[in-house]
Amino acid sequence: MTSPPVALMNTDVPGLDALLGGGITPDALVLVIGAPGAGKTVLSSQIIFAAVRQGLRALILTSYSEGNVKYLNHVRPFAFFDDAYVGDVITLLSMQSLLTGDSGDAADVLMRTIRAARAQIVLLDGFQGIAPALTDSHMVRTALAKLAVQTSFLQTRLLVTLAGNGRDSMFNPEVTTADLVLSLSYQLRERRHERSIEVVKQRGRAPLPGDHSYMIDTSGVRIFPRIEVYPKPNPPKVSLGRARFGLPGLDAMLGGGLNQGTTTILVGTPGAGKTTLGLHWALNEASPKAQTVFVSTGEFPDQLVRKADVFGLPLQQAIAADALRIISLSPVDLNPDMAMSQLLAAIDSATTRRLVIDDMSVLLRVLGTRAHSFLAALRALLYGWGVTALFLLEIAPFDGPVAVVANTPVDVLAENMVLVQQGDVSDKQRRTLAVLRMRFSDYDRTPRELLLKPTGIEVLRPE
């Protein structure tokens, strides 16, 4: 006879439930370990308020160093906080007021408090701070172990914040006791603050492995799981269709258009027309039931609209009709995991058919040595969703495209490759376009002239 699945409580922390494979079990001891300023209290409080919104009663025991007033001042600015819960379904007490010199066994005192509050989820914030009320750190660990056993019996979730490094061997006794251990890292790297979270331990389920970026803003903590460990969707049925540019000359060169479900690199020198070609392809056949997502790292949406207007492309109308969505990413301090979180949230596997990313150079710079695995994971996800993708990549004038793409991380996306260049031909500035590679189709290798005019875009026949 099969046991029924354990009911999990959603944390409602963006990205955390995906990291944990669903949520937190009813009797879990959760350790949140991190350096000062890492966000331990914010993350734990966010989980507490999510729990009370789901109908649970909560108890928050504040640290010796902070106390109730400071705690409230600390969490009140966040969007998850609601004063109406405090004093009603959330009981707020100070550990310092409970654990006096004659209070007796710390675990017994805390358990009496938990029972009196009828708490179904408890936060012990800064649990190391009870050490002054005991004799040594061994007694702190003993108290934690007793609490874990008794709260588990009551089916009460227990969240405990500790200062330190979750991988430090000094926490081995606590980690052994815990059901779930979250380690928060907060450090300065190349003048930027970087935050990452790791599930060091989780009983009963397999979390997403490795460390993952997170940020703290007015909404609270937001976690961005690495795309490399995202569950891969089942591959779709193979489509023999084409994703056309809507430019007869170019579609003829491509044997009818790009193969649906493939990835294409559009390589070009500055000013050669990459973005304009990308917009034309993005808009062709776009509709609310066959949407395009356009990611721009260099231009704002209004700038793209103005550029499209110059060439008679109906970008504004497509946006208004929900046929095309623009994601604008700042190249300054770009976090690739955050960027992919925005992208994947915008992609609807049921309706999104095309993706354009302009320009890949920015993403490649911030990814560094991680680029190959990151791009391979992105390609696998897009293929599983049946999305055809066009990646724009800028090269320096006179660079050979093979030298730029071959044996580099971006080659994993180059199932098809198109080159557009601009230079002097017979004392005139001309743009030329060539198809360099198509993995699943025959194609015309003859370079052609590309015209960008207010009346539209045209690919001329070869002379």
Tell me which of 3.30.70.330, 3.40.50.1100, 3.40.50.300, 3.40.50.2300 is the CATH number of domain 16-225: 3.40.50.300
Are 4 and 19 spatial neighbours (Cβ–Cβ below 8 Å)?
no
CATH 3.40.50.300 placement within the chain: 16-225, 242-459
pLDDT at residue number 136: 59
List of residues 6+ apart from 95 with CB closer than 8 A: 61, 62, 63, 64, 124, 126, 129, 130, 133
pLDDT at residue number 172: 74
Burial environment of residue 19 by CB neighbours within 10 A (0 to 12, 13 to 18, 19 or more): buried
Coil vs helix vs strand at 292 = strand
In eight-state DSSP terms, residue 446 is -
The architecture of the domain spanning 242-459 is 3-Layer(aba) Sandwich (3.40)
Q: How far apart are the C-alpha atoms of 381 and 233, rounded to whole Å?
A: 7
Coil vs helix vs strand at 127 = helix
List of residues 6+ apart from 37 with CB closer than 8 A: 186
- In this structure, the strands spanning 448-453 and 456-459 are antiparallel
Coil vs helix vs strand at 159 = strand
Tokens 């997403």 found at? 208
Give bridge partners of residue 355 from the DSSP assignment: 293, 389
| Binned average pLDDT, 10 residues per bin, the chain of 463 residues | 70 96 93 93 98 97 83 96 96 84 70 94 85 61 85 93 82 82 88 90 91 96 94 75 95 96 94 94 96 94 96 96 95 90 88 94 91 95 93 80 74 94 78 92 93 90 79
pTM of full prediction above 0.75? yes
List of residues 6+ apart from 141 with CB closer than 8 A: 173, 174, 177
In eight-state DSSP terms, residue 334 is -
Q: How far apart are the C-alpha atoms of 84 and 52, rounded to whole Å?
A: 11
Coil vs helix vs strand at 207 = coil
Q: How far apart are the C-alpha atoms of 306 and 312, rounded to whole Å?
A: 10
Q: How far apart are the C-alpha atoms of 342 and 340, rounded to whole Å?
A: 5
Are 261 and 416 spatial neighbours (Cβ–Cβ below 8 Å)?
no
pLDDT at residue number 7: 82
Q: How far apart are the C-alpha atoms of 259 and 417, rounded to whole Å?
A: 12
- Phi-psi label, residue 87: left if phi above 0, alpha if psi -120 to 50, beta otherwise: left
Tell which residue, 207, 211, 230, 212, has the closest CA to residue 381: 230
Burial environment of residue 342 by CB neighbours within 10 A (0 to 12, 13 to 18, 19 or more): middle
Q: How far apart are the C-alpha atoms of 136 and 128, rounded to whole Å?
A: 10
List of residues 6+ apart from 218 with CB closer than 8 A: 77, 78, 79
Q: Where are the alpha helices (DSSP H) in 59-171?
A: 67-75, 95-98, 106-116, 137-153
Chain centroid, CA 51 distance in Å: 23
Tell which residue, 198, 204, 171, has the closest CA to residue 27: 204
Q: How far apart are the C-alpha atoms of 328 and 346, rounded to whole Å?
A: 12
- Phi-psi label, residue 204: left if phi above 0, alpha if psi -120 to 50, beta otherwise: left
**CB neighbours of residue 30 within 10 Å:** 23
| Residues in the chain, overall count | 463
